[in-house]
Chain A
């Protein structure tokens, strides 16, 4: 009987996890939104990653869509910071070749109290 290879997380799942972690590490990102009926969730090896969707592009890379809840800050700059973080994190993981477009959807804005 041949030896079974150890299951390895796919590039898609790994990218989704990295992108979500990188986005949530940005200061003005409060959280991620799983969407209606969990539509914006990526399943990664039995783990649920709410707020990120990774879809294969025609060129073989993976387009990432992040659905985030953020603080009321300038959105352009925030999106740029998120993208930079995601790109850097994917480079560190050696997955920059698999990273396609990065979409950021602001699902809600958490207003500051007082």
Chain B
């Protein structure tokens, strides 16, 4: 689940960096029109960006960094944080995306049969809701990140006069053919149906 915010952060960072790079490139191009220290010259741009002052600040900082003291420790912490952020961004870029398809067959010649999660969830839900004693079924389907198969989580709601074990067993057997075909690991939970939560037929 952490990959979703990481990917969003990676995209945002890439966008902001590209924007900054584009602005910097444009500014450099514009301030290269003239030479010496005229209005549109690079020394003027450096002055606008207060680079000489920044040079002084960085110089002072580097001098204090050479001595042992709080500045060095702050720098170590900042460096470690930068490495951690860098690694997180790399994970956001390189981690494989979850295939939203469930593969039923994958032949050596490249032919494959696959199905999207939504119809399979609908099928699983319908199969479970056909079982006696099940009022409503909720399904969650997560394809495996690597290869075929995935996990199917079922929640079967039942009335008070039904035993949860019976409901779980019948729900499991109802989705077994589907789970077997798509190599799904099934987990069934039962919950007592809430008042007003009733299937209408």
Contacts and interface: CB of A to CB of B under 8 A. Distances in A.
B7 to A, nearest CB: 17
B182 to A, nearest CB: 9
Interface string A100-114: 111111111101000
A103 B110 CA distance: 7
B126 to A, nearest CB: 7
B5 interface: no
Given A76-B113, A107-B116, A101 B104 contact: no
A72 B110 CA distance: 25
Interface residues of B, number: 18
A107 B112 CA distance: 14
B151 to A, nearest CB: 19
Interface stretch (B51-59, B81-89, B117-125, B164-172): B117-125
B131 interface: no
A76 B107 CA distance: 13
Interface string B107-143: 1011111111011001100100000000000000000
A105 B110 contact: no
Given A76-B104, A76-B105, A101-B107, A109 B113 contact: no
B119 A107 contact: yes
A57 B114 CA distance: 20
Given A75-B104, A76-B104, A111-B126, A103 B112 contact: yes
B65 interface: no
B101 interface: yes
A111 B104 contact: no
A75 B115 contact: yes
A113 to B, nearest CB: 13
B124 to A, nearest CB: 11
A83 interface: yes
B104 A105 contact: no
Contacts of A100: 109-110
A106 B111 contact: no
Which of B112, B118, B122 has its CB near the most chain A CB atoms (within 10 A)?
B112
A101 B119 contact: no
A76 B111 CA distance: 12
Contacts of B126: 111
A103 B122 contact: no
B116 A108 contact: yes
A100 B116 CA distance: 23
Nearest to B108: A101
A109 B110 contact: no
7 contacts: A57-B110, A75-B104, A76-B113, A103-B113, A106-B119, A107-B116, A109-B123
Q: What 5 A-B pairs have minimum CB-CB distances, sorted nearest first?
A: A101-B110, A106-B115, A109-B119, A79-B113, A101-B111
